[in-house]
Structure 1
Amino acid sequence: MDLKSGYPFWTVRSGLIDPFPALEGSVECDVAVVGAGITGALIGRRLQRDGHRVVLIDRRECGWGSTAASTALLQYELDVEMVDLAARHGDAAAALAYRASAGAVQALSVELARFRRIGFRRARSLYFATRAAHRRRLIAEWERRRDVGLRVDWLESDALRRAFGIDAAAAILTRPAAEVDPYRACHALLRAIVRDGGAVFDRTAMSGFAVRSRDIRVETDRGASVRARHLVIAAGYESQRWLDARVARNRSSYAFVTDARDDLARLRGVLAWETARPYLYMRTTDDGRLLVGGADDRIDLPIVRSARVAAKAAKLAREAERRIGVSIEPAWAWGGTFAETEDGLPFFDAHAQYGPRVLFALAYGGNGIAYARLGADVLAARVRGRAHACDRLVSFARLDRRARVDVQPAR
């Protein structure tokens, strides 16, 4: 599956980092993780901290798939606003989803702050009204988040312009949030896994697996195998090939970075995005560039996506210029696959197709890295045979369109 087009900045800057060996022969472990992008790395590291022996495999070089194309805005906010999520699943479920995601961003920030040279920085998220007509909707969203205890501030247009140089009717300013180089962060996590006794293999594709009475045997395209008690399929958008049920729809999204510049200091440490759908978003990088993304397509055909990268980057640059009032020129531009679930929530669950020891990690959505950290806790509890507060929130039971997430309100 061709997951990206153009020149993702993270790989242009860093090149191929620390290739891992391909798997030859057979290995045994407690948990096998298929997919060594940032989702698999976060899950593998979390399971390792619980004392499990972990083995990760990836069909590409590690982190070279969707992770390399990610723009890595670490926010608790879902693509679906809290008001809309409450209308679908109820107030308690919406509150749980947003609080759990905020907790995941906080945990992720603590975890990533331990590593050096991964472009990590704590930040604030700025959600601004694309049009004046969106102001009332934004007020309702601000009030709902405030009422469940999330840290949110309201900014009128004058304050927004003074503080951040963004021309919009109003905005919500929130914490926690952060930013990172996802490719370097992925490799930092994988190196930590290997250092502490785990194993990571790249250029090793899972060709199939068999669920047996006492273990699961994963077969690879090289004739090697992994025997494990549990299997976690964290292969990003390619994970859907192992499910008969359709759980998400693949889309294409686009992004670019500028050359380093010193006239955007007001945007440093700010993850700015808008109320329109699909939305424009902006942040700076650790070396002073502006990163802009959005312009999503509702299809994901690699040949079409590749042909559109330059035009999409030019469109995003024009839209960003209107918001911040300065001229913008893309230096590197790229496009990539992303997946969208119907309600904006991820899936971290076993599916009836395979039974309880095959777990799927589908961190789909605009805040996929935060989802991955939340999912790491959910799956760690599942491997230990324990319940997690978010089990129903991230369950495959949601595929029944009539289903609402039945959670108890917090006391």
Structure 2
Amino acid sequence: MDLSSGMPYWLIKNGLPFNYPKLEENLQEEVLIIGAGITGAVCAYILAEAGIKSTVIDGRTVGLGSTCASTSLLQYEIDTPLYKLAQLIGEKDAARSYILCINAIDKLNEIAYKIDFSGFEKKMSLQFASYKKDRDLLINEYKIRKQWNIAVDFLDEKEVLSNFGFKAPAGLLSKNGGQIDSYLMTHKIFQYLKQYNIKIYDRTRIVEFHHAKNSVKLVTDNNYVIRAKKVIYATGYETADLINPKIVQLKSTYAVASEQFSTNKFWAFDNCMIWETAHPYLYMRATNDNRIIVGGKDVDFYTPYNKRDKLLKSKTKALQQSFKSLFPHIDLNPEFSWCGTFGETTDGLPYIGEYSKVPNGYFALGFGGNGIAFSLIAAEIIRDILKRKRNDDASLFRFNR
């Protein structure tokens, strides 16, 4: 599956910072992680810190799937607002899902510090009401978050204007966000894991999957055989062949990165991340080299991909115009533009853990706008499953929920 196209900013900025070998022998492993993006990297890290050694493999070069196309906003807000999620799964479970995402962002910060990755930045996040009718929705959201002691402020129209310089009926200012370069962080994690003798192979596509009662046999495109006791699937949107495809609806999202600004005073309110209530929503962030990234204008995922890719030029212009409507005083000139893939689930939650039809297979499927936070949650749940340790949160994200 072609998960991205165009010129993803992170790939242009970082290039290929490290190289990894192709698999050119048969393997016998305890735990195999399929997928060498940010999800696979976080899983390998969490397992290694718990004393579980894994091997990581990917059909592409490390990080060149969805990871390099991610805009890398770290938000605890699930795509389904908390007050709506409470109606779907109950208020206690909904609030727990949000709190887990808050904790996940803090833990990602700890990982960044541990691996000496300087690209993690704590940020506030503003969600503004796209329409007048959305003001009441934000009030409902504000009330339920405050009930669960989630740090958030409600801004009225005047406060949004005075703080951010654009008009919106209302806004929620969250205190627990962050942003990273997920592509570079993926590589940094894998380099850190060398001390654990973790093996990482890329450019090695698996074409056969044979799950049995006691083990898993996998065959690569160059006819090597991998036998593993446990397999973790961190392949995101490419896992549909192994599970019920109805659990996720694939979307294509578009993004632009601006030319570099000459001063770091180009963005409002301490480089706060900004997004809106409309669906699909527009989202914006700054980078540490004085650029603005704007994303959104989502469409249904297309195959063949040229239909999706043909929209890149018009979507780039539309993103520029949407940004200009909010910030007419900022001259945003796109230098890089690209499109990536993400998935939406009915309740906005990921699917994590065991799937009955795939024995000895475990899934870390962090769909949605905060998939990186879900990756951390998935890694901890799978770690506990492998160590036969009870995890009270696993049921929130099970397949048969």
For the superposition of Structure 1 and Structure 2, which TM-score range results when normalised by the shorter chain?
over 0.9
Residue of structure 1 in register with 2:16 after alignment: 16
Contact 2:80 2:348 in 1 (8 A): yes
2:341 is matched by which residue type in structure 1?
Answer: T
Q: How does 1:83-98 map to 2 (within 5 A)?
A: 83-98=83-98
Contact 1:253 1:296 in 2 (8 A): yes
Task: State the alpha-carbon separation in 2 of the partners of residues 346 and 354 from structure 1.
Answer: 18
Residue of structure 2 in register with 1:387 after alignment: 390
Task: State the alpha-carbon separation in 2 of the partners of residues 214 and 289 from structure 1.
Answer: 51
User: How much does 1:231 deviate?
Assistant: 0.6
Give CA-to-partner distance per residue, 1:351-408, whole Å, 9 cap, x none.
Answer: 11122x210111111111011011111111111122212211111013xxxxxxxxxx
Kindly tell me: are residues 167 and 114 of structure 1, through their superposed partners in 2, closer, same or farther at Cα, counting changes over 3 Å?
A: farther
Residue of structure 1 in register with 2:148 after alignment: 148
Contact 1:79 1:365 in 2 (8 A): yes
* 2:380 equivalent among 377, 381, 402: 377
Kindly tell me: are residues 390 and 269 of structure 1, through their superposed partners in 2, closer, same or farther at Cα, counting changes over 3 Å?
A: farther
Give CA-to-partner distance per residue, 1:259-295, whole Å, 9 cap, x none.
Answer: 1113523254411100111000100011010000000
Residue of structure 1 in register with 2:322 after alignment: 319
Kindly tell me: are residues 171 and 203 of structure 1, through their superposed partners in 2, closer, same or farther at Cα, counting changes over 3 Å?
A: same
User: How much does 1:175 deviate?
Assistant: 2.3
* 1:284 equivalent among 286, 295, 307: 286
Contact 2:301 2:341 in 1 (8 A): no
Task: State the alpha-carbon separation in 2 of the partners of residues 309 and 118 from structure 1.
Answer: 32
Task: State the alpha-carbon separation in 1 of the partners of residues 51 and 209 from structure 2.
Answer: 24
Of all paired residues, the percent bearing the same amino acid is 32
Task: State the alpha-carbon separation in 2 of the partners of residues 206 and 118 from structure 1.
Answer: 34
Task: State the alpha-carbon separation in 1 of the partners of residues 193 and 217 from structure 2.
Answer: 22
Unaligned runs of 5+ in 1: 399-411
Residue of structure 2 in register with 1:402 after alignment: none
User: How much does 1:219 deviate?
Assistant: 2.0
In the alignment, does 2:310 pair up with 1:307?
yes
Task: State the alpha-carbon separation in 1 of the partners of residues 150 and 290 from structure 2.
Answer: 30
Give CA-to-partner distance per residue, 1:242-267, whole Å, 9 cap, x none.
Answer: 22453211111000010111352325
Task: State the alpha-carbon separation in 1 of the partners of residues 116 and 197 from structure 2.
Answer: 21
1:336 is matched by which residue type in structure 2?
Answer: G
Kindly tell me: are residues 122 and 113 of structure 1, through their superposed partners in 2, closer, same or farther at Cα, counting changes over 3 Å?
A: farther
Residue of structure 1 in register with 2:48 after alignment: 48
1:257 is matched by which residue type in structure 2?
Answer: A
2:302 is matched by which residue type in structure 1?
Answer: D
User: How much does 1:52 deviate?
Assistant: 1.1
Task: State the alpha-carbon separation in 1 of the partners of residues 310 and 298 from structure 2.
Answer: 14
Higher mean displacement: 297-306 or 337-346: 297-306
**Could you tell me the TM-score, scaled by structure 1's length?**
0.93
Contact 1:10 1:68 in 2 (8 A): yes
Residue of structure 2 in register with 1:126 after alignment: 126
Give CA-to-partner distance per residue, 1:198-227, whole Å, 9 cap, x none.
Answer: 110001112223334543232212222333
Task: State the alpha-carbon separation in 1 of the partners of residues 151 and 144 from structure 2.
Answer: 11
Task: State the alpha-carbon separation in 2 of the partners of residues 330 and 389 from structure 1.
Answer: 45
Residue of structure 1 in register with 2:178 after alignment: 178
Give CA-to-partner distance per residue, 1:319-351, whole Å, 9 cap, x none.
Answer: 111112323221111111111111110001211
Aligned residue pairs: how many? 397
User: How much does 1:117 deviate?
Assistant: 5.7
Task: State the alpha-carbon separation in 1 of the partners of residues 166 and 48 from structure 2.
Answer: 43
User: How much does 1:118 deviate?
Assistant: 5.4
Contact 1:73 1:367 in 2 (8 A): yes
Higher mean displacement: 98-107 or 116-125: 116-125
Residue of structure 2 in register with 1:341 after alignment: 345
Contact 1:118 1:181 in 2 (8 A): no
Task: State the alpha-carbon separation in 2 of the partners of residues 311 and 116 from structure 1.
Answer: 39
- Match of 1:392, SS state, is helix
Kindly tell me: are residues 351 and 245 of structure 1, through their superposed partners in 2, closer, same or farther at Cα, counting changes over 3 Å?
A: farther
- Match of 1:11, SS state, is helix
Give CA-to-partner distance per residue, 1:87-133, whole Å, 9 cap, x none.
Answer: 11111111111111111111112212344565321111111111222
**Could you tell me the TM-score, scaled by structure 2's length?**
0.95
